[in-house]
Amino acid sequence: MTDAILSLGDLQVHFAVRGPFRRRIGSIKAVDGVSFDLMPGEVFGLVGESGCGKSTLGKAIMGIHPPNAGEIRFEGQRIDRLAPAARRAVRRSLQYAYQDPAASLDPRWKIGRSLHEPLVIHTDLDAAQRDARIRSILEAVGLPDTHLDLYPHEISGGQQRRVGLARILTLHPKVVILDEPTSGLDVSVQATVLSLFRGLRETFDLTYILISHDLAVIRMMCSRVAVMYLGRIVEIGPTDAIFDRPQHPYTRSLIAAIPKIGGARLSKDFWLQGEPPDPGNLPSGCRFRTRCPKAVDLCAREEPALSALAPGAVACHFPG
C-alpha cells in the first residue's frame, strides 16, 4: 500500500462564541475529530449540508484556520504547526480553489496580472519565463491567450472558474482542494468544467479533495466519499458503496433527496424532517439523533464512533 499524501488525525477546529467584553461564552465545533488518509491520485469527496464544516475542514488543511487539536501530515511531515516561512513552501504544493471565482480575482487587475502573481510570490522565474508558463497553462484549461488582457467582469462564470484553476496550476501543486467547484454554474457549463477537472488531473498528476453539497457531481467525480454532519464524518467509503448501499441514516436521506429523473417522485414521501440543530448547542450522544427515525435511548447517551464496516466505515449504533 502506498503512503498517504495527506493525512488528518483527529483534527478539531473550534470557533469561540464571545459575549460582552470578549468573554468566551461557548464554542462552535465546526470540525470535531476528523481523521482520514488521502492517497496520491485520488479524487476524494466531502459532502454534507451547509454548516456541516466541510469548507472549514478544507481551510484548516490549508492553514487558514488553525486547528485546536489533532494533526495534519503532508507527505509524512506535520504541517499544522509550521513556521510561516516553512509553511509557504508547503502551500505551493497544496492549493485551494475558492467557491466564488469572481470574488477571488481582483476586479481592477487584468487576468494576466492575476496569473503572474502566484509565480512572483512562489518562484524566482523572470517575466518571460512566467509568461511562457502562464500561456501553456491557459491553453491547458482551454482559454485563448487573448483573455490575458481582459478584466474579470468581461468573462463568463465558467471562464472565471478556469482562470481560478489556471492560477493554481501554474505552481504545479500536488493536492488541490476544490470548494464547491460548480456552484453557480449552469448544467451545460458544469459538465464541461467537470470534464476539464478530470483531464487536468491526468495531465498534471493531481490529487483532488472535492467539497460539494451536490451529490450528483460527487458521484460522477469521486472514487471515495466522506459524508459529514455537524463537524464529524458519519460515513466514509468507496463512492459506489456509499451510493448503492448507504449505511448511515443520514447518508440514506441525503441520497434519497436527490431528484431522480425517470424515477419515483420523492417529494411525496420524503421522510427526513427538520433541519440540522444549532452547531453551538449540539445534542447529546449522536448528533443526528434529533432527526433520525431509528433513534433510541442509546443514541442520546453515547456518541457512536466511526467504526469499520466493509468496505468503508460508519458512525452509527444501528447501521444498515
Partner 1 sequence: MTALLAVEDLSLGFATEAGFASVLDQVSLSIERGRVLGLVGESGCGKTTLARAILGVLPADSARVTGGRVWFRGTDLLTANPAVVNQTVRGRAITFVPQDPFSSFNPVFTVGEQIMEILKWKSPRAASPTKHGWLPGVVSPYPSERKRADLDAVMELLDAVQLPRPDQLLRKYPHELSGGQRQRLMIAMALLPGPDLVIADEPTTALDVTIQAQILGLIRRLATERNVAVLLTTHDLGAAYEICDAVNVMYAGQDVEYAPVDRFFAAPAHPYTTRLLASLPRADGTASGIPGEVPGLTTPPGGCRFHPRCERADGPCREARPPVDQLGAGHWVRCYHPQRVTT
**DSSP, res 259:** -
| Residue 83 is a binding residue for partner 1 (CB under 8 A) | no
Pairing of strands 232-238, 224-229: antiparallel
| Residue 281 is a binding residue for partner 1 (CB under 8 A) | no
CB distance 181 to 97 below 8 Å: yes
Question: Could you give the string, one character per residue 111-150, with x where binding to partner 1 holds by CB under 8 A and - elsewhere?
Answer: ----------------------------------------
Query: Could you tell me how many residues of this chain bind partner 1 (CB under 8 A)?
Result: 40
Residue 43 C-beta: closest distance to partner 1, Å: 11
* Residue carrying the nine cell digits 442509546: 298
Could you say which of 258, 285, 294, 300 contacts partner 1 (CB under 8 A)? 258
| Residue 154 is a binding residue for partner 1 (CB under 8 A) | no
From the list 12-20, 109-117, 252-260, 312-320, the region that binds partner 1 by CB under 8 A is 252-260
Contacts of 115 (CB under 8 A, 6+ apart): 134, 137, 138, 148, 163, 166, 167, 170
Q: Which is nearer to partner 1, 49 or 71 (CB)?
A: 49
Task: Determine the Cα–Cα distance for residues 290 and 275; give it in Å rounded to an integer.
Answer: 9
| Residue 217 is a binding residue for partner 1 (CB under 8 A) | yes
From the list 28-36, 106-114, 266-274, 295-303, the region that binds partner 1 by CB under 8 A is 266-274
| Residue 216 is a binding residue for partner 1 (CB under 8 A) | yes
Give burial (CB, 10 Å; 0-12/13-18/19+) of 110: middle
Could you say which of 253, 282, 295, 299 contacts partner 1 (CB under 8 A)? 253
Q: Of 62, 57, 83, which Cα lies nearest the Cα of 74?
A: 62
Task: Determine the Cα–Cα distance for residues 295 and 293; give it in Å rounded to an integer.
Answer: 6
| Residue 266 is a binding residue for partner 1 (CB under 8 A) | yes
Site for partner 1 in 39-78 (CB under 8 A): 49-50
Could you say which of 124, 262, 281, 310 contacts partner 1 (CB under 8 A)? 262
CB distance 233 to 44 below 8 Å: no
